[in-house]
Structure 1
Amino acid sequence: MSESAVQIIARGPRFIAETAAEALDADPMLEGATYSILEEDEDRGIWRIDAFPTTDEEAEGVEATLKAHDGLSVTVEKLADADWLAMSLSGLPPVRAGRFFVYGAHDQGRVPRNTVNLKIDAGAAFGTGHHGTTVGCLQAFDELLKRERFERVLDVGCGTGILAIAAAKSGSKVAVGTDIDAPSVRIANENAKLNMADARFVHASGLNDRKVRGQGPYDLVFANILAPPLVSLSQDIKEALHIGGVAILSGLLRTQERRVTAAYLSRGFVLERRIHRDAWSALVLRRMG
């Protein structure tokens, strides 16, 4: 963790902001950097990037990358010495995505009766359900569930475990999540217990890990990660699915859709749907061969 926690904020036109976000994704030294991008002022056409680096080196890299893009106004603000993540989550409203209702402990009394309710506390893991990528995945899943069922589901890069938990609570008999980050796996398993969901999360470095491969082939694979690993994992995700299985991919910007889609089309997938939330995209692809 950085000696002094900071938030880096960049504002500018959409094209420049998205280009800067792509640069953050493309830098291997910033692979774990956490940031969001959204439209701040529709009338003025201003988009905003908020980054929360966890080390001094990461903070320097993010700041330098953003400042390298002319047209962005970049500021660095120190965060108070407090559990700022928990504080920020306490102010987040619940999220509805189709049949799914995502909420935190502070919204315990606002839970509907006719929804699949997911109580998610992030801790140190990504995926509260508020980010456009997670909402897009849940929306895509909800639409698919209207016409088919998925007995075996894999969540690659599970974070808080929200997607595998959603699958388990929607009737999937096998719901497995995997992450290269051990704290995320611990948090995901805690969230599964909290939701009384029969989902299991394992610490694994790839889809070829026996704990992952042994439960396949899968009917559905979630991968809410980043565009570069989505491309590099395209063959592994194909092999994890049976023919006719579905991949729901997110963690990518709209500007990265073509690159990611092309990688999967070349491996025998067909694109069934795109979902856009802010600058983010979720893709629904089906393995045909």
Structure 2
Amino acid sequence: MSQDAVQIIARGPRLVAEAAAVAIDSDPTLEGATYSILEEDEDHDVWRIDAFPTEPFEIDGLTALLAGYPQLTVSVDKLADADWLAMSLSGLPPVRAGRFFVYGAHDTGRAPVNAVKLRIEAGAAFGTGHHGTTEGCLSAYDDLIKARRFDKVLDVGCGTGVLAIAAARTGSRVAVGTDIDRDSVRIANENATINDATARFVHANGLNDRLVAGQAPYDLVFANILARPLIGLAQDIKGALKPGGIAILSGLLRSQERMVRAAYLSRGFRMVKRLHRDAWATLVLERP
């Protein structure tokens, strides 16, 4: 990031913040914008959106969009000319999600003895385990592998690769991940090496890559992306799964849960479980 890098913060009631987050997801010009939404003050119903635009048009688009919600208090703060991502990650505590312990290099040596240790370096990718969607996926997966194992796992929109790496580290013979961002694929492969995991990651849009299609059908598919792509990929994810296979879906807000669930139930999926972390939802569904 340059010295002109900024952080946009918007605070307000949950329903308003969620509506603004849905609007960000629905705006095609902001498709690559990085943001999070979380509860800041439960007693006073204050929720916060943190956005980190990387291009001038994202700054303009986000500020204009958020200005359309007068109940939100919006501020734009300049970030210092420094490695802001590394600095922010150094202040994040490790995450425990079931048997999984996700940490960065700054927390090496702090992992419990009985945990599956996942050292994840984010770089320019998304998915360190601190976000409610990643934590939700790991917790859902941890519950599932108490009763069964998944020989072949696909991670759609892999980010840092943490989900496929978690699968590879807990017995999956095949763990494949895809992402539309080349930097994410590079970082995910580096993280696989760091964790001595057999997971493989490829740059691909959709599920038609030769490596992905060649390993199908899968026992489990992770898709931690956004609501609209989740809906658009419903049939493809069904086709990539074995009968009885499991889909763990996240990247959607609680307010988007109903429409995503409907897209999969209409294709014969059975709802197994749902988890909520902050404003985010994780859905676990089974292909009949």
TM-score, normalised on structure 1?
A: 0.98
Query: What amino acid is aligned across from residue 10 of structure 1 in structure 2?
Result: A
Alignment correspondent of 1:181: 181
SS of aligned partner of 1:150: coil
In structure 2, what is the equivalent of residue 249 of structure 1?
Answer: 249
| Secondary structure of 1:183 counterpart | helix
Instruction: Give the conservation status (yes or no) of the 8 Å contact 2:254–2:280.
Output: yes
Deviations, residues 179-229 of structure 1 (Å, cap 9, x unaligned) = 111110000000000000010001112101212100110000000000000
Say whether residues 1:37 and 2:50 are aligned partners. no
Whether the 8 Å contact between 1:154 and 1:177 is mirrored in structure 2 is: yes
Which residue of structure 2 aligns with residue 72 of structure 1?
A: 72
SS where residue 22 of structure 2 aligns? helix
Q: Per-residue deviation at 1:3?
A: 6.6
State the alpha-carbon separation in 2 of the partners of residues 228 and 172 from structure 1: 29
Identity %: 73
Q: Matches of residues 213-252 of structure 1 in structure 2 within 5 Å?
A: 213-252=213-252
1:207 aligns with 2:170: no
| Deviation, structure 1 residue 40 | 0.8
The separation in 1 between residues aligned to 2:116 and 2:57, in whole angstroms, is: 41
Structure 1 equivalent of residue 269 of structure 2: 269
Question: Does the 8 Å CA contact 2:11/2:47 hold for their aligned counterparts?
Answer: yes
Asked if structure 1 preserves the Cα contact closer than 8 Å seen for 2:120 and 2:191, the reply is yes
* Kept after mapping to 2: 8 A contact 1:2/1:53: no
Compute the RMSD of aligned alpha carbons: 0.9
- Pair 1:114-2:111 in alignment: no
Instruction: Please tell me whether the aligned partners of residues 3 and 80 of structure 2 are also in contact (alpha carbons under 8 angstroms).
Output: no
**Matched residue count:** 288
Unaligned runs of 5+ in 2: none
Q: Assess if the C-alpha contact under 8 Å between 2:2 and 2:81 holds in 1.
A: no
- Partners of 2:233 and 2:96 lie apart in 1 by 30
One-letter code aligned to 2:43: D
Partner of 1:169: 169
Q: Distance in 1 between matches of 2:112 and 2:124?
A: 27
Shift of 1:123: 0.1
Counterpart residue number, 2:28 = 28
Give, in angstroms, the shift of residue 2 of structure 1: 6.5
